[in-house]
Amino acid sequence: MKNSVAFLLFIFTIASVQAQNNKSNLLIGTYTTKCDSKGIYVYDFDAKTGNFNFKNSTENVINPSFLSISSDNKYIYSVNENGDKSTVSAFDYKPSSGKMDLINIESAKGADPCYIINDKKNVIVANYSSGSISVFGRNNDGSITKAKQIVQHNKELSQTQKPKVPHAHMVSFSPDKKYVLATDLGIDKIYSYEYDPNATDLILKKKDSISVKLGSGPRHLTFSKNGKFVYLLQENDGTVTVFRYLKGTLEKIEENTVVSKDFNGTNGAADIHISPDGKFLYATNRGTANDISIFKILKNGKLEKKSQISTGGNGPRSFAIDPSGKFLLIAHQYTNNVVIFKRNRTTGSLTDTGKKITLCAPVCLVFGKK
């Protein structure tokens, strides 16, 4: 009898551990000024079933349109997109409950920050409207310092002699954390900066820059799993450019597109990510397309387009693949929902599960540990 009870307890324990291993926290950043949103939301997400449960939210946080979780899973950093009054916020974070408590807020030192990254030393933000990058120090308690460095991108003349206004759109650490890459949608460039996390003021030093097609609008990029390639998505024309990457330098090797041959509408390419196994790349297109393209990544780093399907909503601003690689979630800014797709890990194909998270203007999805 005792052996039977012990065995049942063992089985129950194993089942409980497996159930917990299937779950992760899903953080959602939103716009708060045009509909009823509290700011940042945390959900339990089950990678076995695709089910979700609300856990917690902030209160009265203005436009946390992009989020970043610290590597130790203790803090959340958020932009607060609000024109010239934009700020950056630090939150204490309890993954088990999803509770978030504001630690401090600092001026973004730029207008409309739209991307944020962090490591143990710094928090780095891309300011869209002012075309600049702001660097903040991180304190031991998770709080951020005032901006230690501001890197301003400059206006440039186009081929028609019209001024091109900078719009910094993304910052990304290189895999070895020795460089930070920044896209500028307004002047059609990618900048590469040497990164010194321990510096007091010159944390970022310009290493290189590379221009892309005039008017293409470089928005988001992602590194291949082996760090040898960079994939850039251009918002205005839907181009996906493949670069060979080495020590902060980029060399273009291929161009592809998220735009179908028979498409005559408006582009608004938005987000780009690679599956956890590194075999497939996905990219969304907003505008009047509202679709997601699926590419197979070849051994030489180039892309083979496999398929393209509707995202099931309007304004697919952001998407994320859960850590298991079984599900892909797409946040729709204008239809106020997150659509959950089942992902075939062998073929990369997507199937709409019919499950949706309904909330105001979701624009950023980030998976984190429980």
pLDDT of residue 34: 86
The per-residue pLDDT for range 278-303, each reduced to its tens digit, is 999 999 999 999 999 999 999 999 99
Cβ(66)–Cβ(77) under 8 Å?
no
pLDDT of residue 1: 55
Neighbours of 257 (CB within 10 A): 20
Distance CA 32, CA 130 (A): 21
Q: What is the mean pLDDT of the chain?
A: 94
pLDDT of residue 4: 60
H or E element at residue 351? strand 350-358
Q: For residue 122, is pLDDT > 60?
A: yes
Residues 134, 138, 142, CA angle at the centre, nearest 5°? Answer: 130
Q: Look at 150 and 18; give whichever has higher pLDDT.
A: 150
Longest dimension (CA), the chain: 87
- pTM for the full predicted model: 0.93
Q: For residue 361, is pLDDT > 90?
A: yes
Distance CA 349, CA 358 (A): 24
Distance CA 111, CA 81 (A): 8
Phi, psi of 280 (to 5 degrees): -135, 150
Distance CA 99, CA 80 (A): 19
The per-residue pLDDT for range 319-336, each reduced to its tens digit, is 999 999 999 999 999 999
Distance CA 107, CA 58 (A): 19
pLDDT of residue 162: 73
Share of the chain above pLDDT 70, in %: 94
The per-residue pLDDT for range 334-344, each reduced to its tens digit, is 999 999 999 99
pLDDT of residue 16: 43
Domain locations in the chain? 25-368
pLDDT of residue 286: 97
Torsion over CA: 307, 311, 317, 319 (sign): negative
Share of the chain above pLDDT 90, in %: 90
The per-residue pLDDT for range 187-214, each reduced to its tens digit, is 999 999 999 999 999 999 999 999 999 9
pLDDT of residue 99: 98
- Reading the block at residue 12, the tokens are 């129950």
Q: For residue 360, is pLDDT > 70?
A: yes
| Beta sheet of 239-246, edge-to-edge order | 218-223, 229-234, 239-246, 249-257
Q: Can you list the pairs that 46-52 forms with residues at least 24 positions away whose Cβ atoms lie under 8 Å? A: 46/22, 47/22, 47/23, 47/322, 47/323, 47/324, 47/326, 47/327, 48/19, 48/22, 48/326, 50/326, 50/327, 50/340, 50/342, 50/353, 50/355, 51/355, 52/26, 52/340, 52/355, 52/357
Q: Which option is the CATH number for 25-368: 3.40.50.970, 2.130.10.10, 1.10.3720.10, 2.60.40.10?
A: 2.130.10.10
Distance CA 250, CA 302 (A): 14
Contacts (Cβ under 8 Å, ≥6 apart) of 177: 119, 195, 197
Q: How confident is the model at residue 21 (pLDDT cuts 50, 70, 90)?
A: confident
Cβ(22)–Cβ(58) under 8 Å?
no
The per-residue pLDDT for range 43-82, each reduced to its tens digit, is 999 999 999 999 999 999 999 999 999 999 999 999 999 9
CA torsion, points 343, 72, 114, 35, in degrees to nearest 10? 70
Mean pLDDT (whole number) for 250-256: 98
Q: For residue 18, is pLDDT > 50?
A: no
pLDDT of residue 3: 59
Cβ(277)–Cβ(242) under 8 Å?
no
**Scanning the structure block, which residue is given the tokens 């601003």?**
317
pLDDT of residue 161: 58
The per-residue pLDDT for range 141-187, each reduced to its tens digit, is 999 999 999 999 998 877 665 789 999 999 999 999 999 999 999 99
Which amino acid would we find at residue 197?
A: P
